[in-house]
Amino acid sequence: MSELVLEVKDLHVEYAVDGGVAKAVDGVSLELPRGKTLAVVGESGSGKSQTMYGILGLVPQPPGKVFGDGALFDGEDLLAAGEKRLRTLRGDRIAMIFQDPMTALNPFLSVERQLTEVLEAHKGMSRKAARADALEMLRKVGIPDPERRIDQYPHQFSGGMRQRVMIAMALLCRPALLVADEPTTALDVTIQAQILELLRTLQAELGSSMILITHDLGVVAGNADFVAVMYAGKVVERGTAQAIFREPLHPYTKGLLASVPRLDAAQKEQLVPIPGQPPDPTRLPSGCPFRPRCPTSTERCTQAYPEVRSLGPGREVACWNA
Amino acid sequence: MSAEALFAGEDLEQEVVQGTSLWQDAWRRLRKNRMAVASGVILLGVIVFCVAGPWLVGSSFEAQNLAYGAQGASWTHWFGTDLHGRDLLVRTMYGGRISLLVGLCATAVSLTIGVAYGAISGYFGGRIDSTMMRIVDVLYTIPFMFVVILFLVLFGRSLVMLFVALGAVSWLTMARIVRGQVLSLKQSEFIEAARASGVRHAGIIFRHLVPNALGPIIVYTTLTIPRVMLEEAFLSYLGLGVQPPMASWGLLVSDGANAMTFFPHMLLFPGAVLTVTLFALNFLGDGLRDALDPRMRT
Amino acid sequence: MGRYVIRRILGIVPVLLVIFSLSFVLMRAAPGGPFDAEKPVPAEVKRNLELQYHLREPWCETRFLPALREPGLSLAEERALREAAPGASRIEKLCTGAFQYGWLLSNYVQGDFGPSYKYKDRSVNEFIATGLPVTIQLGLVAACFALLIGLGAGLIAAMKQNLWQDHAAMGAALLGISIPNFVMGPVLIFIFSLTLLWLPPARWDGWQYMIIPGFTLGGVYAAYIARLTRGGMLEVVRQDYIRTARAKGLSERLVILRHAIRGGLLPVVSYLGPAMAGLLTGSIVIERIFNVPGIGRYFVDAALNRDITLAMAVVVVNAVFLLVANLLVDIVLGLLDPRVRYE
């Protein structure tokens, strides 16, 4: 087995829309070493989630289209794999946690049904055996009184508890790769910390690798080993978490960092939002898509998309001026 | 370099979005819906056919020619003739006048009741609202056509009675729709402003709230017309609506059904015109809904 | 749950009372008496008939007689005048009406709809007992057609969204909504009974008699159900929880059958209440077209004959039917959707 659990090469996800093609993901490359955590950071609409959907075969086709040079999971190209093969991987070797536990759990089915069906599908377990496993997993994710709560329905759980159910559901088959798509965005701040803590502990216990998708660099700090910053469907900067926080190179990364509240910041330093909106994916501006919002853009930025420059192992940036 | 300096004072390229009103938008979307446009054209055709047709053809809906009797379609009688030798084309035109008239008038009655009821319920809210809506819930469960039939049989079968009876039983959904709109609109600032400047309740309801709920009202009205026309035809078919020698499409279909063994054209032509009209109205209503409320689109 | 059902059943009672009263008032307010149209009968016979049907109430006649006596008439003359035109004064009419209302209501409560005005040797109950099972059969056949065709077409349309299957199904649905059943019925008779000679055109003597009427009655509802199914399913497959189900690696069959179909069919289930009302109304005309001896047919005949006791009983029986159907729909909705609380 290679040391990379996931290696994505030049992935594209496109959607046919009224009057053209929306390039949701436009040539993304990622690497994730085994047992590590990669944070994919960007504003909503930057293509972070779509990248993962593309890899996992969750893009509806049509209107979507997925292509690229490969997405190797344990050396197996997921882009070349058929839907049937992907289905056996999803939920078993690769599991996903979604952003909004209010809508991501089926309101019509009991928690028990939603947990046991995963084990039934992948492990061929009887419902009874699956129930025992599910109970244990619920206990592990910190749901009190699981024997009673397992037969309840999602609407009877609080937001934080629902997210714990989501996590339990994802971890049932002890996946090699866990994709957490904004796992804390819909939750209260105090609950956020608990959920992140839980994810970290369980990840260590199961030895899983994790992709943490977030728009909040505050979540990244202390939770990720590597960071990839995405903008308008492209990775604009890549590096270790340490490097990204210490020495951000891309103006967009700098902007994101400046908009995060920090405890160690000097008193006077203010939070600065990035002005403007991400571009419409059907009508990307010429050259660098961040140019309209970039404080340091030059003539050159309007002409061509900046080449990706490698600055060392796993350290890349795509900016003419960085 | 601090982030502040980084982003300060830079002009942003911003796309100027052309402001288009809801109605312009809706009109544009409606025109793109080819089936809806076709339905609109067909409807106009049907209206011209019924309203102006009899003058063009120039024969009476009552003119009988018993010796001639029922005949199939021919160059002199495009839709053929009925058992009394009356020209079916002209009778279909006259029948259409009645059917369209009933459709419009009964819809107007239901529109008036429904909008007023819904607006009042939504505007005053609270106890009044819950009581009024509870009544609507109860009325929904009543088999109204039976009551209408009883009413028409006992109190005479005039056209006006037909308008009133059909209108009086088809306002429930309209009331619910208008109430929902008013409930969400009445929180908005322009209503607060109107209230603060001392506009009376009736003024707020009918000058501010109802006009702003016009989209859904138009859509639902368009869908009520074919329903009411269908109900009129249904009653006339049973012999409870328009009375001979006057014609309505329901009555013509009923005559046609009785004679179809030997004269299928008597069923075919009026039935087809009725179906096409209802089809066009339903399609236009669907198209309007898509155009005025794109969120509803599936 | 049990308490909810009991409360809902209790809630039906006042609604029924309203419907009963409404039809009673219509009947009382109608000009002309029920026996006017018949050939003249001796005054004594007529009086006995009116007494039997509580259209005349001796107590009311005597109670208000002295007070209302017109000046210059003796009591005997006044009584003779009233004999000729019972209920001539408004107060007396109200009094008689109140008595009749109480009499009818107490009969209805005991399940006795009284004798028919028209067929004096038959009770209304007999008509209902022969007609109702036929109408229920017809309704069930129609409902089967509506659900089978509607759900099938709707699911296909949803799965093939914007492809030709979708357009074909939705076009057919809109056509189905637009063709009145009294046009469709004769056309189908013409094609299948008179031209192809496959199925009998009328009456009610076995399964082959049920096909055309059932299809004609159910067709419109098949169309509505197809539209609701398609809309509901398309709405549901957009939901996050369907994406979750796919991300769990479930087969497409499980995603649809276990995860999508419940939410997708909720609109169809809530529509079944109004559809039931429509089926009952539609049965009036269908039973007439196909000469089916159900209560819808009895109702129209009764209304045209001014056989008001029978007509009124049909209205009330139908109302009971509808109210119970609505209650069942609400209970099923609650069983399907755990978020619904019975309050």
Query: Which residue is closest to A251 within chain B, CA to CA?
Result: B6
Q: What pLDDT shows up at residue C206?
A: 73
Q: What pLDDT shows up at residue C199?
A: 73
- Among the listed residues C91, C99, C128, the one whose alpha carbon sits nearest the alpha carbon of residue C111: C128
Q: What pLDDT shows up at residue B9?
A: 36
**Residue C305 C-alpha, separation from nearest chain A C-alpha, in angstroms:** 52
Question: Which of A257, A269, A274 has its CB closest to that of B7?
Answer: A274
Cβ-Cβ contacts under 8 Å for C151 (sequence gap 6 or more): C225, C226, C229, C265, C268
Whether C318 and B275 lie within 8 Å, measured CB to CB: no
User: Is residue A154 pLDDT above 80, yes or no?
Assistant: yes
Whether B143 and C322 lie within 8 Å, measured CB to CB: yes
Whether A258 and B13 lie within 8 Å, measured CB to CB: no
Do residues B274 and B100 make contact, with C-beta atoms less than 8 angstroms apart?
no
User: Is residue B5 pLDDT above 60, yes or no?
Assistant: no
pLDDT (average), residues A201-222? 84
Higher-scoring residue by pLDDT: C92, C190: C190
A61 in contact with C at a CB cutoff of 8 Å?
Answer: no
Chains that touch A (3 or more CB pairs under 8 A): B, C
A104 in contact with C at a CB cutoff of 8 Å?
Answer: yes
Q: What pLDDT shows up at residue C148?
A: 93
Of A29-33, A55-59, A150-154, C202-206, the range with the lowest mean pLDDT is C202-206
Whether A255 and B12 lie within 8 Å, measured CB to CB: no
Q: Percent of chain C having pLDDT more than 90?
A: 4
User: Is residue C223 pLDDT above 80, yes or no?
Assistant: yes
Interface of B with A in 9-28 (CB under 8 A): 10, 12-14
Alpha helices (runs of H) in chain C, residue ranges in sequence order: 2-29, 43-52, 58-68, 75-84, 90-109, 124-159, 164-178, 181-188, 207-237, 240-247, 252-254, 261-289, 295-304, 308-336
- Among C244, C251, C258, most A C-beta atoms within 10 A, so best to mutate, is C244
User: How many CB atoms are located within 10 Å of the residue A161 CB?
Assistant: 21
Whether A106 and C245 lie within 8 Å, measured CB to CB: yes
Per CB-CB distance under 8 Å, the chain B contacts of A276 are: 12, 14
User: Is residue B94 pLDDT above 70, yes or no?
Assistant: yes
Q: Percent of chain A having pLDDT more than 90?
A: 1
Chains that touch B (3 or more CB pairs under 8 A): A, C
pLDDT (average), residues A234-247? 83
Higher-scoring residue by pLDDT: B81, C171: C171
Handedness of CA B168, B174, B176, B182 (dihedral sign): negative
Structure tokens at A58: 């969750």
Confidence of residue B113 (pLDDT cuts 50, 70, 90): very high
Question: Which of A92, A103, A155 has its CB closest to that of C241?
Answer: A103
pLDDT (average), residues C186-206? 76
Question: Which of B146, B234, B253 has its CB closest to that of C315?
Answer: B146
Mean pLDDT of all residues belonging to chain B: 77
**Residue C79 C-alpha, separation from nearest chain B C-alpha, in angstroms:** 29
Q: For residues A91 and C23, give the distance between their C-alpha atoms in angstroms, rounded to a whole number.
A: 62
Per CB-CB distance under 8 Å, the chain A contacts of C243 are: 58, 98, 104
User: Is residue B11 pLDDT above 70, yes or no?
Assistant: no
Please report, for residues A30, A40, A217, A288, A319, the alpha-carbon distance to residue A239 in angstroms, rounded to integers and kept in the order given.
10, 11, 14, 20, 14
Q: What pLDDT shows up at residue C310?
A: 86
> Phi and psi (nearest 5°) for C280?
-60, -45
Handedness of CA C230, C231, C235, C236 (dihedral sign): negative
**Cis previous bond, A33, omega within 30:** no
User: Is residue C307 pLDDT above 90, yes or no?
Assistant: no
- Among B146, B153, B236, B295, most C C-beta atoms within 10 A, so best to mutate, is B146
Q: What pLDDT shows up at residue B117?
A: 92
* Interior/surface letters B152-186, b for 16+ CB within 10 angstroms, e for the rest: bbbeebebeebbbbbbbbbbbbbbbbbbebbbebb
- Among C237, C246, C340, most A C-beta atoms within 10 A, so best to mutate, is C246
Do residues B114 and B68 make contact, with C-beta atoms less than 8 angstroms apart?
no
B3 in contact with A at a CB cutoff of 8 Å?
Answer: yes
**Residue C60 C-alpha, separation from nearest chain B C-alpha, in angstroms:** 25
Query: Which residue is closest to B10 within chain A, CA to CA?
Result: A295
pLDDT (average), residues B148-159? 79
Confidence of residue C74 (pLDDT cuts 50, 70, 90): low
Q: Percent of chain C having pLDDT more than 70?
A: 86
pLDDT (average), residues A28-56? 86
Confidence of residue C149 (pLDDT cuts 50, 70, 90): very high
C243 in contact with A at a CB cutoff of 8 Å?
Answer: yes
Q: What is the pLDDT of residues A181-192, one digit of tens each?
A: 888 777 777 878
pLDDT (average), residues B215-234? 85
Per CB-CB distance under 8 Å, the chain B contacts of A292 are: 12-13
Higher-scoring residue by pLDDT: B125, A292: B125
Q: What pLDDT shows up at residue A216?
A: 80
Alpha helices (runs of H) in C30-89, residue ranges in sequence order: 43-52, 58-68, 75-84
Per CB-CB distance under 8 Å, the chain B contacts of C300 are: 149, 238, 240
Per CB-CB distance under 8 Å, the chain A contacts of B10 are: 275, 295
- Among the listed residues A294, A320, A295, A299, the one whose alpha carbon sits nearest the alpha carbon of residue A308: A320
- Among the listed residues B246, B242, B247, B61, the one whose alpha carbon sits nearest the alpha carbon of residue B160: B242
Place of tokens 């370099």: B1
pLDDT (average), residues C122-136? 87
Whether C274 and B155 lie within 8 Å, measured CB to CB: no
C15 in contact with B at a CB cutoff of 8 Å?
Answer: yes
Whether A274 and B6 lie within 8 Å, measured CB to CB: no
Cβ-Cβ contacts under 8 Å for C335 (sequence gap 6 or more): none
Query: What single DSSP character describes residue C173?
Result: H
pLDDT (average), residues B144-173? 82
Whether C241 and A89 lie within 8 Å, measured CB to CB: no
User: Is residue B179 pLDDT above 80, yes or no?
Assistant: yes
Question: Which of C180, C273, C303 has its CB closest to that of B149?
Answer: C303
pLDDT (average), residues A107-136? 88
Helix (H, G, I), strand (E, B) or coil at A236: strand
Question: Which of C249, C263, C339 has its CB closest to that of A88?
Answer: C249
Q: What is the pLDDT of residues C12-64, one digit of tens each?
A: 888 888 888 888 888 777 766 666 655 666 767 777 777 777 777 777 766 66
Whether A275 and B2 lie within 8 Å, measured CB to CB: no
Question: Which of A251, A272, A275 has its CB closest to that of B12?
Answer: A275
A122 in contact with C at a CB cutoff of 8 Å?
Answer: yes
Do residues C246 and A98 make contact, with C-beta atoms less than 8 angstroms apart?
no
- This prediction has a pTM of 0.79
B to C CB pairs, distance under 8 Å: 129
Q: What pLDDT shows up at residue B285?
A: 84
Q: What pLDDT shows up at residue B242?
A: 77
User: Is residue C89 pLDDT above 70, yes or no?
Assistant: no
**Strand A177-181 relative to strand A209-214: parallel, antiparallel, unpaired?**
parallel
